[in-house]
Amino acid sequence: MNQIATFAGGCFWCLEAVFQRLKGVESVVSGYMGGHVDHPNYRQVCNGDTGHAEVVQIHFDPALISYDTLLEVFFTIHDPTTLNQQGNDVGTQYRSAIFFHSSQQQAVALNTAEVIADHWTSPIVTQIVPATDFWPAENYHQNYFQQNSGQTYCALVVAPKISKALTRFASIMHD
């Protein structure tokens, strides 16, 4: 039976492009979570007034890929030590967060964050919080890299994250 994982780690285009390539991931939907406005749109979230983070919701088969592995990929492809920022993307919508869907996910996330803390010189600022309502992003945000790989942001920011993941996780990624 498939499970759901929800992560925020900067721009959802970056996360989506990597997680879509993992064996055992059935689907990845870009969206918004963690805010106080129903049905937020991209402009509202970017203004920083809704409290939402840009997230990816990952539907995965735990028989093929573990939640632990998803977390390992997550902590590899973004900087969990920068508060409300990933590179030039700045604001609470770009915060690092793990939205857990069960007490088991919470325990694994807390343990993983503790273990990886030794690999960083600055403290981990990733929030580990219960999942709330998920609001899918507008259609043009879905499969963004696949449809816009030649776009400057995709070439300069998304593609290097994919390359980094391919280098580290080649055995669990699709070609």
Cβ-contact 131, 100 below 8 angstroms:
yes
DSSP 138: P
Whether residue 11 lies in the annotated active site: yes
DSSP 28: E
Domain extent listing, the chain = 3-172
Record: fold of 3-172 = Peptide Methionine Sulfoxide Reductase; Chain A (3.30.1060)
In 3-state terms the chain splits into helix, strand, coil percentages (rounded to 5) of: 40, 25, 35
Strands 127-130 and 3-9: unpaired
Per-residue pLDDT 10s for the chain (175 aa) are: 899 999 999 999 999 999 999 999 999 999 999 999 999 999 999 998 899 999 999 999 999 999 999 999 999 999 999 999 988 889 999 999 999 999 999 999 999 999 999 999 999 999 999 999 999 999 999 999 999 988 999 899 999 999 989 889 989 988 6
Distance CA(127)–CA(130), nearest Å, equals 10
Nearest to 84 by CA among 9, 142, 165, 159: 9
Instruction: Quote the tokens at residue 45.
Output: 């979230």
Q: Which one of the listed residues 11, 14, 46, 154 is annotated catalytic?
A: 11
Query: What pTM does this model have?
Result: 0.95
Per-residue confidence (pLDDT) for residue 3, from 0 to 100 = 97
